[in-house]
Amino acid sequence: MKWSVKLKSISPLILIIVLMSSCSTNRNYRQRGIANFQSCLSLMNDLIAYRPHTGPAASDFLQAKSLDELESLYGGESLIEIQRNLSDETIKKYNAHTMALLDEDFKIKDIPGKKNFLTKEEANVIYNAMSESKVNKNHNCYDTDGTIGFCFGRATIAHLEAIVRNVNPEAIRKIWIAGDMGKWGHHVATIVKAEKGWYVLDTEIGFVLSHEHWVSIYLPLKEPKANEIMVFTTQAGRFSPYDTQTYNAMNLFNTNSSDFEKVSDYYRGYFHDYFEDLDSVKREPLSLPE
């Protein structure tokens, strides 16, 4: 249930006090030296080992024989532009192929002390961490007019919460949909490897679910006269549907300096606040198989 529903019965004065305190509007964000939130970002980027792609997209995605090969065929192009330039018939074929690759046994390089797949219960641990994060619980502080959505923010949080719990970075990916859904033109969520297939961590749904179930919910949401919605999957480190950049200070914090000013941040401190929390709060690793 969203805040807009929960707070209907609260007086305007109380509502203003609650929002001002939870959004920390008077907090001094200026720090000396390398800020904790940026050093934490640097460490996380080293751990996720993202490999960006460049160049034009391939003319045929059906030739891909693995998820990694499929992503490489997207090149460095916008996922949204790829979808816009394809026919409905072609999109349906590519969606079927993407889903088939997600169903296949995904080869993951073993890393000592890292989990290659998760149980449903373990996926729920990460889902709950994302759901209970301060920035997610205070969503309205950062998206005051509901125009940002922050699906990409929640996907980033789910990715990093999995990393700090010793999930193999290759067992974490993102799943994207692109197409006209009315208010939104794309959506993204983090997925984690299950023993078979993938679990999707998307608080817009309200529970952990399979990748097949997730896709079946979103594909029918296209506008009546719009192109078919297209499904993509990428390494988890991809931040945006528009390019292949990974997490960086300019994208996340609107700054490349160690100083941070919330008033100049388009996201109103969303990622700054999350990385400060990630830097200061110890996360317990998931149980490892014997």
The per-residue pLDDT for range 193-221, each reduced to its tens digit, is 999 999 999 999 999 999 999 999 999 99
Domain with 15, as residue range(s), is 3-280
CB 62 within 8 A of CB 96: no
> Which residue numbers in the chain have pLDDT < 70?
1-35, 287-290
CA dist 78 to 148, 156, 272, Å?
18, 18, 26
Q: Is there a domain that residue 225 lies in?
A: yes
**Residue 288 resides in a domain:** no
Whole-angstrom Cα distance, residue 250 to residue 230? Answer: 28
- 164, part of any domain: yes
pLDDT digits (tens, 9 = 90+) for 113-148: 999 999 999 999 999 999 999 999 999 999 999 999
* Residue 285 within any structural domain of the chain: no
- pTM, two decimals, is 0.87
* Neighbouring residues of 270: CB distance < 8 A, sequence distance ≥ 6: 135, 142, 150, 153
Domain count, the chain: 1
97 within a domain of the structure (yes/no): yes
The per-residue pLDDT for 286 is 83
286 domain residue, yes or no: no
Q: Residue 290: inside a domain, yes or no?
A: no
Kindly report the length of the chain: 290
Q: Is residue 204 part of a domain?
A: yes
